[in-house]
Amino acid sequence: MKLQTRALLFLIIPLILLALYQYNSYSIVIGQVQAQVQLAEARQHNTDLAINVRYLTLLNARGNNLAVIYLASGNYTSAQKEISILYDLKRQRLEAFATLKSNLLSQNDSAETAQILKFEKTLMTADAKDTEILALIAALPKTDAEQQLIVDKKTEELDHLEDNLLADVSGIISSNFAAAQAANQQTSISLQNGLNALHVFSITTFIVVLIIVFFLNSLTINSISKISSAVEAVTKGKFDVELEQSNIYEIQALTNSFNRVLASMKLAILRTGMSKEDMGIGEALRAKKEAEDRYLSLFNSINEAIMVNKMTPKGPGNFVDVNDYACQLFGYSREEMLQMGPADLDKSIGQNEKTKGTIKALLSGSHVLYQMHQQSKDGRKLLMSISMRMVEIGGEKYIISAGRDISGAKELEDKYRALYESSSDAIMTLEPPSWNFTAGNPATIKLFGTKDEKEFTSLTPGDLSPKYQPDGQLSSVKSKKMIEKAMKEGSNLFEWTHRKYKGENFPATVLLTKMSIGGKDVLQATVREISDLKKKEEELKYQKAFSETILNSLIEGIDIVDEKLRIVYMNPVFIKIFGRQAIGKKCYAVYKDNKRQCEGCPLKKPIKIGETRAITTSGVAGGNAFEITHTGIMLPNGKKGVLEVFRNLGKKTEGAAHKSTPSHKKKGK
């Protein structure tokens, strides 16, 4: 972007924002002022109405007094005329008050609302009293002195009400006048605040514009300073200067011109053969040499054979650079290798289809990785893994190759293959997306009964599984779940029912292991037939069921207690009596009526496996006496315990002596 355009944008945009803000602020201030003026006008109008009501009230009082005076002097004609005027004044006062009331109520001022309602009440009372007096005056006989006294009394009451009305309306006038003054004052304040806000924003915008101008000036000065420093460096012979890109159009144009001039100078130096003393470029050449030394140090420290050869129209040419590791690996000196090419290390390289395909891939910008045999100077065959890429340097195409000797890795691969082939476990591989078999060792061929590996890999996992697994799931559905779990977690061990290629089903354990081959994730499956193990499991289940049948058929109560006197097993007889919740509790807390350990309890001494002792104790399960036989056994968790057999001897007293038979040992493990 040009500097002028950038400056205009930075200056014009804030000014436009300032103008918009000022217009908006002006509109707000004018609106506030108009609202305040309207409020002041409304207050003034209310004041005028209140003054009018006050004036009419005074006229009404004056008319009442005149009517009474005329009546007292006997001038009945003038009294009647004054009464007519009073009726008209009352009507005018009511109309003015109605307008005043409507205005004040619309302003939602609670104080003024209470004041106007009070005034209305007084006014209504005065009007009623006024009407009563007028009626009395109209009906007053000429000689009725008593009626005259009533009129005088009513007139005095009316005067008092009129005084109250005048006081109330004076309060309304004062309130509205004060409110009007406050509205005018608020208008002045709002106007002043708006002007102050405009002044503050104007000053702020001016400061922002100054900052932007300073920033642009600094940006321009810094760029020019860099160009100046670069020119000074060139004059001292430092030709490795290169100016950075700039966002300012004019500065960037100047930078490009400088870089082109600098490139022309470098080319002129190379063509004319001028010395560094003539050009004053000693520092630049020293820096160049240091950079070359760093490059050579890194180049020769890489533990891979790095070889660079030029691409010619006829194919890969001789090497133009090799690192020390390549010379050591192939046994040639650097000078010897620079006289050689890739074909001298691998005689198979030529104008064959493989070479053409490699060159085509390199020219397209692809990265080529492959294995090939190359020969060292002493005749050794080296299996090389080579990574190749083509680059362009100075308009010329070069092939950079990084080779690694994997002969030892190949030997290790052969070793693992021998283990794979000789393993007694069936090992096979499956690959996505179909997850069909892609390889299988001889044990796999034997286990599934196929003719050879080719026939095995033509089958799918579904061909070697029944339709349903023992849990009722479809083999096709469950196998997908097992594969997904192995791919997610890295491995998955589970039981599976397989089917021989042309035979019966058999149980097996399957271990799926995720692995990478050639950059592709695959699964290795290790399958072991467990038919014999399943038979042993069935025998154990039978023996367990047989033992439980015997225990369940006994009429004596039997339990097993651990070293901490906690019940870990009860036969159905005891479960029926004491409930399953007794398991886990202390034996004496469940059996003994006094919740104490038996006096002759063998568990007070260390348990000996195979040793049997018998005691007789009373106060068990409601006062019964039992003969209890204790035999030391080993629990499934590896800890010691006691098998107890209870024989009920009937009711005995709690204080009966405990009888303990001498200990004896039974043969057992």
- Note whether 416 and 425 are within 8 A (CB): no
Q: Last residue of a domain, which of 152, 183, 201?
A: 201
Q: Is 502 a member of any domain?
A: yes
H/E element, 255: helix 249-272
User: What pLDDT is attached to residue 197?
Assistant: 66
Please give the average per-residue pLDDT across 80-90, as a whole number. 76
H/E element, 3: helix 3-73
User: What pLDDT is attached to residue 298?
Assistant: 80
DSSP conformational letter for 663: P
Interatomic CA distance for residues 659 and 651, integer angstroms: 15
Are 522 and 563 in the same domain? no
pLDDT digits (tens, 9 = 90+) for 291-315: 677 777 888 888 888 999 888 887 7
Please give the average per-residue pLDDT across 437-453, as a whole number. 91
User: Is residue 37 predicted with pLDDT exceeding 70?
Assistant: no
Please give the average per-residue pLDDT across 207-228, as a whole number. 69
Are 560 and 659 in the same domain? yes
Interatomic CA distance for residues 12 and 300, integer angstroms: 60
Q: Is 265 a member of any domain?
A: no
User: What pLDDT is attached to residue 664?
Assistant: 47
Are 570 and 430 in the same domain? no
Residue 669 confidence class, pLDDT cut points 50, 70, 90:
very low
Residue 253 confidence class, pLDDT cut points 50, 70, 90:
confident
β-strand pairing of 426-431 with 436-440: antiparallel
User: What pLDDT is attached to residue 13?
Assistant: 75
User: What pLDDT is attached to residue 20?
Assistant: 75
The answer to which of 164-173, 563-572, 616-625, 627-636 has the lowest mean pLDDT is 164-173
Between residues 415 and 98, the one the model is more confident about: 98
Q: Is 196 a member of any domain?
A: yes
The answer to which of 1-10, 36-45, 640-649 has the lowest mean pLDDT is 1-10
Please give the average per-residue pLDDT across 477-493, as a whole number. 93
Closest by CA to 155, choosing from 130, 176, 135, 177, is 130
User: What pLDDT is attached to residue 108?
Assistant: 66
Residue 188 tokens, joined: 């002045």
Report for 218-232, 250-264, 397-411, 559-573: range of highest mean pLDDT: 559-573
Coil, helix or strand for 667?
Answer: coil
Q: What is the CATH number of the domain that holds 477?
A: 3.30.450.20
pLDDT digits (tens, 9 = 90+) for 277-292: 555 555 555 666 676 7
User: Is residue 492 predicted with pLDDT exceeding 90?
Assistant: yes
User: What pLDDT is attached to residue 140?
Assistant: 52
Between residues 188 and 352, the one the model is more confident about: 188
Are 383 and 502 in the same domain? no
Residue 149 confidence class, pLDDT cut points 50, 70, 90:
low
Interatomic CA distance for residues 216 and 195, integer angstroms: 32
DSSP string computed for 513-578: EEEEETTEEEEEEEEEE-HHHHHHHHHHHHHHHHHHHHHHH-SSEEEEEETTSBEEEE-HHHHHHH
Q: Which domain holds residue 620?
A: 554-665
Residue type, 534: K
395: alpha, beta or left? (left if phi > 0; alpha if psi -120 to 50): left
Residue ranges of the alpha helices (H) in 378-474?
Answer: 407-422, 442-448, 453-457
Count CA atoms closer than 13 A to 622's CA, side-chain side.
4
User: What pLDDT is attached to residue 532?
Assistant: 81
pLDDT digits (tens, 9 = 90+) for 338-356: 998 888 888 766 556 667 7
Are 132 and 181 in the same domain? yes
548: alpha, beta or left? (left if phi > 0; alpha if psi -120 to 50): alpha
- Note whether 402 and 304 are within 8 A (CB): yes
Are 591 and 496 in the same domain? no
Report the DSSP beta bridge partners of residue 508: 496, 529
User: What pLDDT is attached to residue 332?
Assistant: 93
Are 466 and 398 in the same domain? no
Q: Which residue has the tokens 């004609």?
A: 77
Number of folded domains in the chain? 4
User: Is residue 211 predicted with pLDDT exceeding 80?
Assistant: no
Interatomic CA distance for residues 311 and 322, integer angstroms: 15
Own/partner contacts of 478-487, CB < 8 Å, gap of 24 or more, are 479/435, 482/510, 482/512, 483/430, 483/435, 483/512, 483/523, 486/512, 486/513, 486/514, 486/523, 487/514, 487/521, 487/523
Are 508 and 359 in the same domain? no
User: Is residue 5 predicted with pLDDT exceeding 80?
Assistant: no
pLDDT digits (tens, 9 = 90+) for 501-530: 888 899 999 999 998 877 789 999 999 988
Residue 484 confidence class, pLDDT cut points 50, 70, 90:
very high
Per-residue burial over 226-246, b = 16 or more CB atoms within 10 Å of its CB, e = otherwise: bbeebeeebeebbbebebeeb
The share of the chain scoring above pLDDT 70, in percent, equals: 63
Are 184 and 47 in the same domain? yes
User: Is residue 540 predicted with pLDDT exceeding 50?
Assistant: yes
Q: Is 237 a member of any domain?
A: no
Residue 667 confidence class, pLDDT cut points 50, 70, 90:
very low
Between residues 224 and 579, the one the model is more confident about: 579
Q: Is 226 a member of any domain?
A: no
Q: Is 209 a member of any domain?
A: no
The chain-wide mean pLDDT, for the chain, equals 76
User: How far is residue 89 from each of residues 58, 93, 95, 358, measured CA to CA in Å?
Assistant: 10, 6, 10, 119
Q: Is 296 a member of any domain?
A: no
The answer to which of 98-107, 171-180, 361-370 has the lowest mean pLDDT is 171-180
Report for 33-42, 204-213, 434-443, 540-549: range of highest mean pLDDT: 434-443
Report for 63-72, 345-354, 447-456: range of highest mean pLDDT: 447-456
Are 317 and 430 in the same domain? no
Are 522 and 621 in the same domain? no
Are 613 and 584 in the same domain? yes
- Note whether 427 and 525 are within 8 A (CB): yes
User: What pLDDT is attached to residue 665?
Assistant: 45
Q: Is 7 a member of any domain?
A: no
User: Is residue 547 predicted with pLDDT exceeding 50?
Assistant: yes
